[in-house]
Amino acid sequence: MSIIRRRGWELSDRLATPEHLVFNRRGLLAGGASALALMAGPAYAQRVTDLANIPDPSADLYPAKHNEKYVLDRPITDEKINSNYNNFYEFNSTKNVAQQAQALPIRPWMVKIDGLVEKPFEIGIDELIRKMTLEERTYRHRCVEAWSMAIAWTGFPVAKLVEFAKPLGSAKYLRMETFNNPKVAPGLKQSWYPWPYVEGLSMAEATNELAFLATGAYGHPIAKQMGAPLRLAVPWKYGFKSIKSIVRFSFVEQRPKGMWEALQASEYGFWANVNPEVPHPRWSQASEEVIGTGERRPTLLFNGYGDYVASLYSDMKSERLWA
């Protein structure tokens, strides 16, 4: 029998009632439809703010055990610097999204698993997290904009989610989707972006040992601007593949089109593996600025993770693997 430690506001009914029902019941007047907002006025606004700031119910799981296998060739980027230099276009298209991102309510947070699976289902993020064993890994992160960071993520391998989802043999790709609520994220009102943010991996990539779902960073639950409560980390690919704040995983047969690919296919492809020798159409990818240090380093093929992933692409010579 396992003993579940509970914290603060967590009520015992969480253990017996599906997460979304518990939160809906508690938040009925607070978190409901906008019609209620009009009726309730400032009180509603206050409750929405309160909901956005609920203490994280998974906090007791951090820090998780560190996995020594994935070593870095550079120091971890300072957390303050990392959490104030982010790409999260749902909020805005500058690096300065930290403050705006705090408006995102991350509980309740339902994750849908559908498509080519034995049985589609939805699961609350806390139930999902507690079904997985969290570990800490240090990974490099190389943005397509030619900057990089190094991060201590906490989470679990995508392969574990795949196992849990029970996909059918016909599933060829994993499609992931970010929340799409323009009421909390004003960038979603910008109709020239093909929202929602979507990204995909082949099943071989998704089950590669490096593919990781981060629920935390720097020894605690992941910050909202970094993709709370669930974000992908695929360190051998350009950063735009690492989709944030995921609400849906679909197992599909057709290759999914990511948001950036849908917007500008000539610049952002499906595979998007890091290669210093293949420039982006508008800039070189030969080197990167290490954020927070001012240092410029040569970029490594597969961002230095070739030993883990190069074999995934050995028979794909005709594919556009690098942009």
Does 215 engage in binding with ligand MTE (CB under 6 A)? no
Residue 228 C-beta: closest distance to ligand MTE, Å: 10
- The contact mask relative to ligand MTE for 234-253 (x = CB under 6 A, - = no) is -----xx-xxxx--------
3-state secondary structure of 141: strand
Does 58 engage in binding with ligand MTE (CB under 6 A)? no
Strand partners, 295: 290
Does 162 engage in binding with ligand MTE (CB under 6 A)? no
Q: How many residues make up the chain in this entry?
A: 323
d(C-alpha 242, C-alpha 198), whole Å: 10
State the number of binding residues for ligand MTE (CB under 6 A).
15
Does 90 engage in binding with ligand MTE (CB under 6 A)? yes
Task: Give the residue with the Cβ less far from ligand MTE, 10 or 205.
Answer: 205
d(C-alpha 51, C-alpha 20), whole Å: 13
Does 143 engage in binding with ligand MTE (CB under 6 A)? yes
Strand partners, 178: 246
Which residue of 138, 154, 178, 275 would you call a contact of ligand MTE, by CB under 6 A? Answer: 178
Does 214 engage in binding with ligand MTE (CB under 6 A)? no
Q: What are phi and psi of 135, to 5 degrees?
A: -140, 160
Beta strand 65-66 with 110-115: parallel, antiparallel or unpaired? unpaired
d(C-alpha 232, C-alpha 302), whole Å: 17
Question: Does an H or E element contain 204, and which?
Answer: helix 203-206
Burial of 68 (0-12, 13-18, 19+ CB in 10 A): exposed
Does 197 engage in binding with ligand MTE (CB under 6 A)? yes
d(C-alpha 226, C-alpha 231), whole Å: 8
Which residue of 86, 100, 207, 285 would you call a contact of ligand MTE, by CB under 6 A? Answer: 86
Residue 244 C-beta: closest distance to ligand MTE, Å: 4
- Stretch of 37-45, 86-94, 110-118, 298-306 contacting ligand MTE, by CB under 6 A: 86-94
Residue 214 C-beta: closest distance to ligand MTE, Å: 9
User: Tell me, what amino acid is at 6?
Assistant: R
d(C-alpha 92, C-alpha 104), whole Å: 13
Residue 92 C-beta: closest distance to ligand MTE, Å: 10
Token pair listed for 199: 């990204």
Task: Give the residue with the Cβ less far from ligand MTE, 44 or 153.
Answer: 153
Q: Which residue is nearest to ligand MTE (CB)?
A: 239
Identify whether the C-beta of residue 134 lies closer than 8 Å to the C-beta of residue 221. Answer: no
Task: Give the residue with the Cβ less far from ligand MTE, 226 or 290.
Answer: 226
Which residue of 44, 62, 70, 88 would you call a contact of ligand MTE, by CB under 6 A? Answer: 88
- Chain residues in the site for ligand MTE (CB under 6 A): 86-90, 143, 178, 197, 226, 239-240, 242-245
